[in-house]
Amino acid sequence: MQDLPHRYNVSASAQAEGNIVLTAENLPQLVSAPPAQFGGPGDQWSPEDLLVASVADCFILTFRAVARASKLDWNTLEASAEGVLERVERVTRFTAFTVSATLTVPAGTDVDKAQRLLEKSEAGCLITNSLSAETHLETNIIVAT
């Protein structure tokens, strides 16, 4: 791992109507749109989908690292995540995330150790640990001529 802090830069661009294009250096472009729940088409990734996907993805990546460090052999890990979006005190926000994980391990594996490592991975996921982080907004407004 590289020394901290790490910086991640993503750009989003859009016109008044239509999809949003997400780009980052050396990565394939993603197309985003509002989810069906917000009147969008429901056929593109949305910010809400991407956030919940990040929870599931981070959980698996964290488990890989934890299992490797703990010398746990495993075959497959499937994780699904559900995020609950609610209105709380006039603010729409995610109030809960649930990760459902199915881990397949070889015969003879210490199941209690595997369970502890799954729990350690859930507790160590940097995405879920960051969800209540302070945010900062920097703006630049360009008036088209």
Residue 128 CA to residue 52 CA, distance in Å, equals: 10
Q: Token pair for residue 47?
A: 């910010």
Residue 23 CA to residue 19 CA, distance in Å, equals: 13
Helix or strand (DSSP H, E) at 129:
helix 126-130
Residue 67 CA to residue 64 CA, distance in Å, equals: 5
Mean pLDDT of all residues belonging to the chain: 91
* Beta carbons of 82 and 52 less than 8 angstroms apart: yes
pTM: 0.89
**CATH code of domain 11-130:** 3.30.300.20
- Reported as a single tens digit per residue, the pLDDT across 48-105 is 999 999 999 999 999 999 999 999 999 999 999 999 999 989 999 998 899 999 999 9
* Beta carbons of 59 and 52 less than 8 angstroms apart: no
